[in-house]
Amino acid sequence: MNIGIRGIGGYVPEKRMTNKDFEAFLETSDEWITKMTGIKERRFAADDQDTSDLAFIAAERAIKDSGLRKEDIDMILVATATGDHKFPSVACQLQERLGLRNIPAMDQLAACTGFIYSMVTAQQFILTGACRHVLVIGAEKLTKIADMTDRNTAILFGDGAAAVVLGEVTEGHGIMDYQLGSDGSGGQYLFDRKADQLLAMNGREVFKFAVRIMGDMAAKTVEEAGLRAEDIDMFIPHQANIRIMESSRQRLGIDKDKMSVTVDRYGNTSAASIPLSLLHEIDKGTVTDGSKIVLVGFGGGLTYGAITLIYGK
């Protein structure tokens, strides 16, 4: 049974927050932000938009793209660290808004690796026969947990959502291999502060971890899939920082023009970053039917994971 992407959709808010905008209230500059992160702008959700609102639009677009009916969805998984509430989950909110009844719905928290974790979870439910089609969404409103007084982290994050419908696809397509892992000893480097629930990060330690683990996981999943680096058509890393992305690309040994880069336009959107980048490449035409793709990410936990798949229905 080949499990792959039947449909995809995404959404980013209207408001653009440029590096120049940060110069008005932080001791920073467009030049410094671009050099250190590769980010030029990011999207900020409106005050009356929350994570579930972003996720809902992405979900509807993914279902439409799949050609399925809403009633064909058997489960909803939402990867997010910024749900509207501690409970109910974003997934349950979407179940109601999509008009679906009596199907399981849950959020998964693996921070920026969340979308990969949820993709693998969905695959397992389909392989067991418990589900036929699973809606997987990565959605974040990171601006509500970003400390806008901290110039080292405020500049990094944006809001957005993207979704896929996973199901059985034709032979020669789908997920070929996945790798998942975690290192709880690194949880102290990326967390939400108890006092105010805002995000805190030890950038140096996270950078060192990410550079090593992203390249290693990408290389391992390609090898386990029976492929070589030169076989890969598109490398889609978590869009955290261009220097981390470049290091992992070089570690994998893939050409620069085969790496997806959307960090310049969206910033770090955590669980939404990988599917938003995949959608970007599909829209550009650089990912088409039969393209061999590597998805790789890392996040708070610390978590990490990678997937090798062949795109197409």
Number of structural domains, the chain?
A: 2
Domain shared by 206 and 134, yes or no: no
The separation between CA 257 and the C-alpha centre of its own chain, rounded to angstroms, equals: 20
State the pTM of this model.
0.97
Is 268 a residue of the active site?
A: yes
Domain shared by 7 and 148, yes or no: yes
Domain shared by 244 and 162, yes or no: no
With 0-12 CB in 10 A as exposed, 13-18 as middle and 19+ as buried, what is 171?
exposed
Domain shared by 61 and 204, yes or no: no
CA–CA distance, 135 with 79 (Å, rounded to integer): 11
CA–CA distance, 17 with 34 (Å, rounded to integer): 14
* Averages of pLDDT over each 10 residues, the chain, 313 residues: 96 98 95 96 97 98 97 98 97 97 96 98 98 98 96 95 98 97 96 92 94 94 96 98 95 95 98 98 97 97 98 94
Buried b (16+ CB within 10 A) or exposed e, 9-23: bbbbbeeebebebbe
Residue of 112, 133, 241, 280 marked catalytic: 112
Which domain does 126 fall in, by range?
Answer: 3-168
What does residue 261 show for φ and ψ, rounded to 5 degrees? -130, 110
Domain shared by 116 and 183, yes or no: no
CA–CA distance, 98 with 27 (Å, rounded to integer): 44
How much is the pLDDT for 101?
Answer: 86
Which of 152, 168, 184 delimits the end of a domain? 168
Is 102 a residue of the active site?
A: no
Give the number of other CB atoms < 10 A from CB of residue 301.
22
Return the H-helix or E-strand segment holding 217.
Answer: helix 203-224
Is 112 a residue of the active site?
A: yes
Instruction: Determine if residue 129 is left, alpha or beta; phi over 0 gives left, psi from -120 to 50 gives alpha, anything else beta.
Output: left
Domain shared by 27 and 158, yes or no: yes
How much is the pLDDT for 50?
Answer: 98
Q: Domain of 36: which CATH number?
A: 3.40.47.10
CA–CA distance, 14 with 46 (Å, rounded to integer): 8
Query: What's the Cα-to-Cα distance from 255 to each of 177, 205, 308, rounded to whole Å?
Result: 21, 27, 17
Domain shared by 13 and 161, yes or no: yes
221 within 8 A of 294, measured Cβ to Cβ: yes
How much is the pLDDT for 1?
Answer: 86
How much is the pLDDT for 310?
Answer: 98
